[in-house]
Amino acid sequence: MSDSTRSCPTICRIWTSSIGRKMLVALTGLGLVFFLLGHLVGNLLVFAGPEMFNDYAEFLHNMLHGMGIWLFRIGMLAIVAIHIAATISLTRENRAARDSYEYKATIQMKRSSGLMIWSGLTILAFIVYHLLHFTAKVGNTYGTDDRYFEEVNRNGEMVVRPNAWQMVIDGFSVWYVVLFYAIAMALLCSHLSHGVQSMFQTLGLRSRKTAGALDKLSSGYAWFILVGFLSIPISILVFGFGR
């Protein structure tokens, strides 16, 4: 046993075991499934108008005196990194094992897993872009003075806070931003439809009796996420919501 294995036996055993990596993919995937659902519900508040959406945005950014949102972002990025790294590792291992007895069925499986890898990497690129676009405000004017407004708070005090609602409206008023967003969401839908099914399988929840219901649940969840997220940019760019 190597020194590194002695120093972290549990972590190393999980990572060196294919079952351990499959569980990591499933558990991180489950975390991302719940995150997407919560993120969508929060984003849909944009339809409730500026006040409610800005209250929601302010709540997120003031959690734990401003540290909460960054701890959450770092945690989610770590989950995404583990999910991708474990998936790539398993895919490479499976491909190496199949090279000696490849046939039509395994070729189809390789294509399916390959699509999952590329869709996952594209989604990762979108996450980075999304953070740069709306969080770091790179390449736009969302941080200028006209994206802030004054209002009287519940204590009767005049305060200045970011107009997150207007930021969303402005961001999705650009056609190429919406196009990239739509492509990423379509790939996400495809990724989720297959990934959620695999997650149930790995967690031991899938059986002959539950297979049909879980497949419908996976597909329904993926479509709900797709339609929900796309409803915002389409409403803004095509139907002029908020403009």
Model pLDDT for residues 147-168, shown as the tens digit of each residue = 555 565 566 666 667 788 988 8
Residues 6+ apart with CB under 8 A from 222: 188, 189, 190, 192, 193, 196
Q: Which domains does the chain have, with CATH numbers?
A: 10-237 (1.20.1300.10)
Compute how many other C-beta atoms are within 10 angstroms of the C-beta atom of residue 3.
6
Interatomic CA distance for residues 178 and 197, integer angstroms: 28
CB 112 within 8 A of CB 65: no
CB 148 within 8 A of CB 160: yes
Residues 6+ apart with CB under 8 A from 126: 180, 181, 184
196 burial via Cβ count (<10 Å: 0-12, 13-18, 19+): buried
CB 150 within 8 A of CB 160: yes
Instruction: Give the closest residue to 39 by CA, choosing from 10, 70, 60.
Output: 60
pLDDT in tens, 166-178: 888 988 998 998 9
Rounded to the nearest angstrom, the gap between the alpha carbon of residue 102 and the centroid of all alpha carbons in its chain is 34
Compute how many other C-beta atoms are within 10 angstroms of the C-beta atom of residue 85.
15
pLDDT in tens, 51-108: 899 889 889 888 888 898 889 989 988 998 899 889 888 888 877 766 555 555 444 4
Interatomic CA distance for residues 10 and 15, integer angstroms: 9
Residue 159 per-residue DSSP state: E
